[in-house]
Amino acid sequence: MHSKKGCSGSKLLFSHSSPKRNNVCLCGDFNAVRSVEERRSTRAQSSVGDVVPFNRFIEENSLVDLPLCGRNFTWYKGDSTSMSRLDRFLLSEEWCLVWPNCLQVAHLRGLSDHCPLFLSVNEDNWGPRPSRMLICWSDVPGYKQFVIDKWRELSIQGWGRFVLQEKLKRMKFALREWHRTHVSNLPGRIQAFKQRVDVLETKAEQLQLSDEELAFLRSSTVDIHSLSRLNTSISWQQSRLSWLKDGDANSKYFHAVLAARRRGNSINYLNVDGLIVEGVIQVREAVFNYFCLLKS
């Protein structure tokens, strides 16, 4: 996914609709700002009367305003005495659930007084992710015994720290494969059970179900409940909402919080001595040099 916008006074609406969700991306020059900091002028008092209605419009429509990367403003007066952030992408929550790594970047301004904006999915590879345990794993039958057996069968020679490091590393890959087998694609598996239950219930409206079909209907209901609980537990833990009860069924809300956390924790660029540093390698080097200076 890659979109570009750079025309003054224009508004574009991209949408991807399905029977269950509506993914909307609204972009353009809104000729309004969300805060006083988004407008700078040499005049003593700059007009900010559009702040309240514009924020109300975004909140009432449950739109997500992504952080702007590359610069702070998107519109510049010819003599650079006034500047504002008038251009932006506004995304629906459903859009952010499908593409959680969306990023909007302001590029170099040409002849226009507006900067071109790019919306893309940030898939930068920052290296291996840390190993995390999911609370719901303990609810899956056979999980504890799998961990015990796998740990015992790992035979590694060397000194203590090396052995522990290698065992943990190999357990990480083993648990990843176990997760794919037992806990992956939970929404799809839940939907498959629901469809089977619907077929049997439709049949029961006309005919008497056999004992095998009744037993399968009861077991499918139990499986739906068990898988739904696992899916909610995973979403709850990944969202890190400790103030909500474990088992809350509002998975969509959990995913929305998780997507917002990812956007907030992502480091897309750094300001180093007045210069904007972008890219994985450049940002890593800037962070490394900063802490080297602190250490020295």
Claim to verify: residue 184 and residue 100 sit in the same structural domain? no
Residue 157 buriedness (CB in 10 A; 0-12 / 13-18 / 19+): exposed
pLDDT for 123: 62
Q: 223 and 169 share a domain?
A: yes
Residue 283: inside a domain: no
Answer yes or no: is pLDDT of 85 > 50: yes
- Domain C-terminal end among 124, 147, 163: 124
Q: When comparing pLDDT for 267 and 212, which is higher? A: 212
Which residue, 67, 222, 214, 204, is CA-closest to 141? Answer: 222
Which residues share a beta bridge with 83? 40, 76
**Which domain CATH number covers 97?**
3.60.10.10
Determine contact, residues 82/52, Cβ cutoff 8 Å.
no
Structural domain count of the chain: 2
What is the C-alpha to C-alpha distance for residues 189 and 173, in angstroms, rounded to an integer?
23
For 149, the token pair is: 């057996």
Task: Say if 279 falls within a structural domain.
Answer: no
Tell me the pLDDT band of 205, cut-offs 50, 70 and 90.
confident
Residue 69 vs residues 23, 103, 116, 117: alpha-carbon distances, Å: 23, 8, 12, 10
Domain boundary among 124, 152, 174: 124
pTM more than 0.75: no
- 115 lies in the same domain as 140: no
**144 and 233, same domain (yes or no):** yes
pLDDT given at position 2: 43
Q: Judge contact between 119 and 103, C-beta under 8 A.
A: yes
Residue 276 belongs to a domain = no
Domain match, 146 and 52 both:
no
Residue 104 in domain: yes
* Range among 19-23, 69-73, 260-264 with highest mean pLDDT value: 69-73
142 and 73 in a common domain: no
The verdict on 217 and 170 lying in the same domain is yes
Q: In what order do the strands lie in the sheet with 102-106?
A: 2-5, 117-121, 102-106, 68-69
Average pLDDT of the residues in 192-201: 86
* 112/153 same-domain check: no
Residue 192 and residue 94 share a domain:
no
Let me know if residue 218 belongs to a domain. Answer: yes
Same domain assignment for residues 139 and 251: yes
Domain range enclosing 172? 135-263
Q: Is 106 helix (H, G, I), strand (E, B) or coil?
A: strand
Q: Indicate if 119 and 227 belong to the same structural domain.
A: no
Q: Say whether both 96 and 185 belong to one domain.
A: no
Domain termination residue (choose one: 124, 157, 172):
124
Q: What is the pLDDT of residues 167-196, one digit of tens each?
A: 888 888 888 888 888 777 777 888 888 888
